[in-house]
Amino acid sequence: MRLAMKAVLCVMYLGLGSAIAVEAPLPSDVAKYVDQREGCDHFRGEIPDPLEDKRMREVEREIRKLCTGTDKKLQRLKRKYARNPAVMKRLNEFEEKIEASSR
């Protein structure tokens, strides 16, 4: 019985170690980008009725603040972490082109 308990604990420990490895924290520059981009995406989905002038101005301000430059930042981070599968998996969750073209 004691041997069986040790085997079960060993298997649980190994499984937990794998789960922890998968959930490793992102590098700080990537974590900062993810926070910014999630805020950006939130406000991109918050476009109010055009008659709500005050809320429309607030949403537009937040979109400018949070979304400006995110396309280039995403490209830069993808180049920097191209060989890091965990980081690339997270970065690939974002659309690559969300900013209006500046032509």
Q: What is the pLDDT of residue 93?
A: 97
Residue 90 tokens, joined = 């997270």
Q: Taking the model in full, what pTM does it have?
A: 0.72
Question: Is 14 or 37 the better-scoring residue by pLDDT?
Answer: 37
Closest CA to 77 of 30, 39, 15: 30
Q: What is the pLDDT of residue 23?
A: 65
pLDDT in tens, 1-35: 555 544 444 545 555 554 445 567 999 999 999 99
- The full length of the chain comes to 103
CA-CA-CA-CA torsion sign (77, 79, 83, 88): positive
Q: What is the pLDDT of residue 24?
A: 77
Q: What is the pLDDT of residue 8?
A: 46
| Mean pLDDT, rounded, of the chain | 84
